[in-house]
Chains A and B, each alone.
Chain A
Amino acid sequence: MSAETSYYVPAQSRWPIVATVGLFLTVVGAGSVMNASSAGESTGMSWLTFMIGALIMAYMLFGWFGHVIQESQQGLYSEQMDRSFRWGMSWFIFSEVMFFAAFFGALFYIRVLAVPWIGGEGANTSTGELLWPEFEATWPLMVNPNNELYPGPSALISPWGIPLLNTALLVASSVTITIAHHALKDGDRGKLTLWLGATIALGVVFLYFQGYEYVHAYNDLDLTLSSGIYGTTFFLLTGFHGAHVTLGTLMLIIMFFRVRKGHFDKANHFGFEATAWYWHFVDVVWLGLFFLVYIL
């Protein structure tokens, strides 16, 4: 239980409303880009809306976080405030866990239940017999129930090439960020900079390989978003993971610049820690992906 007697209540702030407008324009823009391109119409204005929204969001992020950093540097934050941030970040990560859980759950349901049912297993024998007589349930699904509408992939990505390498990269990056964190706690700025930089490098290389693998899948393997449920789950899971790695890497880069500017001290460095938590989370999701999407 807290014993502090002083609370910090921030003054009025324009950032939330700026953030709202930015978010609104971004999603309206994105939505109309999608609608217009699905209908084969011009997307110029929609892209413009989207870009304006995204720019406002970027402006807001710099402004808002900049402001928080400034407050923190001024020593306005008590230990209690620090704990609020910690709770906030932990529960945010929990919400991300649940977001991925939805996709992992979908994968589980498809593999264990839906695809076998279409193949006529379980109580649903007539589904296979009457509706999909040609279809054979296998995983990964190379031939889809309606292979004209959704032509299946011609080959798959072997887990033991790039994916294994990527696993090594991410696991290593979790180690390097921890080393950096310890260095920060020890006040060893040089070591901190070095290992933080190494983490960023590992993240970037990971992303490069991931992109390379996608290109390979699209160009050589006919493994695409529309190659049936295997491609669907593969790209959605790895894609959202990749997006999170990108975000994590950006956060790390920002931390890197903050370290260079002399921010953080041995005791107060929650921004750094939050980034590290996030990075570990992204790493754990990858391990799940590696086992459930690539290997099994």
Chain B
Amino acid sequence: MSAVIDNPSHDDHEHHGPTKGIARWLFTTNHKDIGSMYLWFSFAMFLVGGCMALTIRAELFQPGLQLVEPEFFNQMTTMHGLIMVFGAVMPAFVGLANWMIPMMVGAPDMALPRMNNWSFWILPFAFGLLLSTLFMEGGAPNFGWTFYAPLSTTYAPDTVTYFIFGVHMMGISSIMGAINVIATILNMRAPGMTLMKMPLFVWTWLITAFLLIAVMPVLAGVVTMMLMDVHFGTSFFDAAGGGDPVLFQHIFWFFGHPEVYIMILPAFGVVSQIIPTFSRKPLFGYHSMVYAVASIAILSFIVWAHHMFTVGMPLAGELFFMYATMLIAVPTGVKVFNWITTMFRGSLTFEAPMLFSVAFVVLFTIGGFSGLMLAIAPSDFQYHDTYFVVAHFHYVLVPGAIFGIFAAVYYWLPKWCGRMYSEPLAKAHFWLSFIGMNLAFFPMHFLGLAGMPRRIPDYALQFADFNSISSVGAFIFGATQLLFLYLVIKAIRSGEPATDQVWEGAEGLEWTVSSPAPYHTFSTPPEVK
């Protein structure tokens, strides 16, 4: 364990290549290794969470109970939500941050490389713990990913204890990861890389990291309160002792709403990198993009109770949260308009990253519109806890967060592994995903409006047709992801060699280094004009 100084005055870096075998991954302090591990882990979780989604969709293919019992169905819904949110989307973005932020700001690595490794390795253990509850007596958590008390306290299966500790572990991992990102961005930028010159992906991550540090401890706080209620006789969420079940929801959503922006802001960043590249034109309104992201983040702290319009808040509260929520449409709109104006009078080509980004803009906006409808409190009385909400959040999460991640992977994969993916396969992946995903989630709007509640294993007959369409779409979308896995592996093993610049219109520090990027990038900081 001797300390090695990475001293750039010795211009020879041979001995800094990766070590071989499992030790490389267990002990690594290299941001690229850690980024890769995050990305692979996230994809594995996406498949696991996706299989749970397919279990849900298979059961809902037709009315009646055929494949699973209601108890197990609830476990699937809960675990699907938890795994997708905490296991698939968040780690994927942290993986991208690890790979790209040091390269984009001209740093040799993350600011705190050992802690970086720790942040990653906590995750497989946390999710191992969470998944193991499926095999324990009493079954996995079954109270929804929002785990409202008292269903998740007094009435929960015993495994709730492990769920709570699992959440604690994820929280520790996220907070450390976020601290690392902030320290890297604030402290490790190359000379000349002023804040207002940073690529938007870096900006969005800076703000995301701030959100993470602000709200993950709140989540830790609320699960701790649950733990106390379950095992130590406290009465946070029990009116009999002077507490209130709704208190849980307030604290949860104080975390939960910023959390949904944590899942979208980095995708905004990705798209803001890709659209200018394939439009061969600088991003329109760079400054307003930065301010918009900051406004979204700030507003996200004062809108949480829009998830709770039906809990019986006083009228004044209801109005406040309605108005504040509606306001978020303004900065988000600014972003959408800027992307479109960037494309306007550009010189557009449509490689896979661009296809996913364009789909992102359109479909995310549709999800945003349904979000705005949900924000209107009186109408939300009708939408709340129906499939309309499920449609809304899958539109912002699947073609939002997930497409953003796909776009980023296609965009930067050549830089990571030095090889190109197959464009025809990627186009097939795009179109099948696009069709499958719309088929799966668009009919859910109709279902919700017609009155189908969410989190039910069986439904009334008038919902049958749209449910079967949705299930077919889900299977198309799911199967398509195997194609993605195949094409990524194929690219890594036998793709065409990529140039350093990779994309004709690409700009930024990451494109100035060779493809694949050397194990240690900028050990001497680059000069940024």
Contact = CB atoms under 8 A, between A and B. Distances in A.
Partners in one complex: yes
Interface of A: 1-17, 19-21, 23-24, 27-28, 30-32, 34-35, 37-39, 64, 67, 70-71, 74, 76, 80, 83-85, 87-88, 91-92, 94-96, 98-99, 101-103, 105-106, 109-110, 113-115, 117-118, 122-124, 131-132, 141, 144-146, 149-150, 224-226, 228-232, 235-236
Interface stretch (B104-112, B329-337, B364-372, B454-462): B104-112
21 contacts: A1-B193, A1-B194, A6-B6, A6-B8, A17-B118, A84-B187, A87-B111, A87-B187, A88-B111, A91-B213, A95-B175, A98-B215, A98-B217, A99-B221, A102-B218, A110-B244, A117-B244, A122-B314, A225-B233, A229-B241, A236-B225
Contacts of B5: 8, 76
Contact of A229 (B2, B121, B214, B236): B236
Nearest to B29: A10
A85 B182 CA distance: 11
**Interface of A, helix, strand, loop or mixed by DSSP:** helix
Given A9-B108, A9-B113, A11-B29, A1 B192 contact: yes
A236 B234 contact: yes
Contact of B243 (A7, A103, A229): A229
A16 B225 CA distance: 28
B115 A144 contact: no
B247 A95 contact: no
Contact of A12 (B19, B192, B523): B19
B188 interface: yes
Contacts of A145: 239-242
Given A38-B231, A88-B115, 9 more contacts: A7-B6, A7-B188, A80-B187, A87-B183, A88-B183, A91-B179, A103-B225, A109-B247, A144-B240
Contacts of A225: 228, 232-234
**Interface of B, helix, strand, loop or mixed by DSSP:** helix
B114 interface: yes
B191 A102 contact: no
Contacts of A99: 217-218, 220-221
Contacts of A118: 239, 242, 244
B108 A7 contact: yes
A15 B112 contact: no
A232 to B, nearest CB: 4
A232 B236 contact: yes
Contacts of B122: 20, 23
Contacts of A131: 239
Contacts of B7: 6
B2 A114 contact: no
Nearest to B250: A109
Contacts of A14: 1, 26-27
> Shortest 9 CB-CB distances between A and B: which pairs?
A102-B221, A226-B233, A229-B242, A146-B240, A16-B118, A150-B241, A99-B217, A114-B244, A12-B27
B276 to A, nearest CB: 25
Interface in B191-213: 191-194, 213
A59 B234 CA distance: 34
A105 B254 contact: yes
B222 interface: yes
Contacts of A13: 1, 27, 29, 114, 117
Given A76-B3, A94-B213, A110-B243, A28 B234 contact: no
B216 interface: yes
A229 B189 contact: no
A84 B112 contact: yes
B244 A98 contact: no
B186 A27 contact: no
Contacts of A76: 3, 5
A128 to B, nearest CB: 11
Given A74-B3, A150-B240, A105 B251 contact: yes
B509 to A, nearest CB: 15
Contact of B158 (A24, A39, A95, A235): A39
B161 interface: yes
B63 interface: no
B183 A23 contact: no
B314 A106 contact: no
Contacts of A226: 232-235, 241
B524 interface: yes
Given A88-B112, A98-B215, A27 B6 contact: no
Contact of B172 (A3, A4, A23, A83): A23
Contacts of B251: 102, 105-106
A3 B189 CA distance: 10
Given A10-B3, A14-B26, A95-B213, A232 B241 contact: yes
B4 interface: yes
Interface stretch (B162-170, B259-267, B352-360, B393-401): B162-170
